[in-house]
Structures are given as C-alpha cells and as structure tokens.
Amino acid sequence: METLWAPWRMAYITGPREGGCVLCEKAAGTDDPANLVLARGRWAYVLMNLYPYNNGHLLVAPYRHCDRLADLSPDELLDVMRWVQRSEVLLREELRPDGFNIGLNLGKVAGAGMEEHLHLHLVPRWNGDTNFMPVIGETKVMPEHLAATYAKLAPRFAASSREGGR
C-alpha cells in the first residue's frame, strides 16, 4: 500500500480554533439555509457537512455541548439516533447511494475534528465514488454543489418533520 503524506494537515489538526464551538453556533443560529441545517428535533439537529467527504455528507448532533456519548441523556441519545435513522432513509430516497459510512469519532486521536461536541457522520457512498484524483491530482471531485444538495434535501427533511418521521 502506498502512503500519501499530507504534512500540511497537522497545522489544522493541532492548531488553535478561533471562536466558539461551530456546532453550538449553528444550532443557535436562525438562518438554517446559511448554516446548512436541514432539521431540528427536540434534543438534536441535522446539518450538512461544510467540508463533505461525499455529496450528502450529513452531521447529526445534540444541541447540548457534550464530548462523550456516555454523558448524553436517554432523551438526547434517542433523538440523535432517530435523526440518524431518518436521515439514512431520506438520503436513500433522494440520492440513491449504494451504501453508507455512518460513524462517530470521539477524541482527537480518533479523528474528531470538533472533539468538544460529539456528532455522528452519515456519508453516502456510491460504487465508483473514489478514483485517482485525490491521490494523483490532490483534488477531491464533488459532482454537486452544496447548495444544490441542500435544495434537494431540505424539502424532504421538512416534509418528514411535519409527518413526525419517515
């Protein structure tokens, strides 16, 4: 296996963060389209990842600033998982991926970019969604703009919220 060295990433990984918690700021914001927020529940919310691994890459986070899964209340945990479940269904219906990566990174060494506020990632995957471009060209090809994906998903999430689920 080849190793791709990316030493410029270390400054970002270990560097200081300006401002407060991004997830808290987006949760407190009122302009959901500008913040890429798709849905709000009682204890958790869904937003698009501003730096996606793939089109449709979503985050589900509790409103409460918390860095440990064990610290979530039963209500928070249930709401987070319900939104993960609902998001998977809506992404399958709208974007038709072949599969998903769904995960939670806890702590800096586990790859958490925002380690102080836990969140789950839902990353739709398609057969053939990886190619030589990131390795050879140092470029990730995103076939659809964030705004276009948001425009597709927002009405689906709104309708699902009104219906109380799927």
Distances in Å between the alpha carbon of 92 and those of 72, 85, 96, 123, 125? 28, 11, 5, 11, 10
117 tagged catalytic: no
Pair of tokens at residue 22: 């991004």
Residue 44 and residue 60 in contact, taking contact as beta carbons nearer than 8 Å: yes
* Beta-bridge partners for 64: none
The residue count for the chain? 166
Domains of the chain: 19-127+135-163 (3.30.428.10)
Which residues, at least 6 apart from 21, have a Cβ–Cβ distance to it below 8 Å? 65, 114, 116, 117
Which tens digits make up the pLDDT trace of 91-145? 999 999 999 999 988 777 767 677 788 999 999 998 877 755 555 555 566 667 8
Catalytic pick among 57, 117, 119, 121: 119
Mean pLDDT over 18-43 rounds to 91
Question: Residue 144 gets which letter from DSSP?
Answer: S
Helix, strand, or coil (residue 39):
strand
* Residue range 59-88, pLDDT digits in tens: 999 999 999 999 999 999 999 999 999 999
Residue 12 pLDDT > 70: no
Query: Are the CB atoms for 79 and 35 separated by under 8 Å?
Result: no
pLDDT at 2 over 70: no
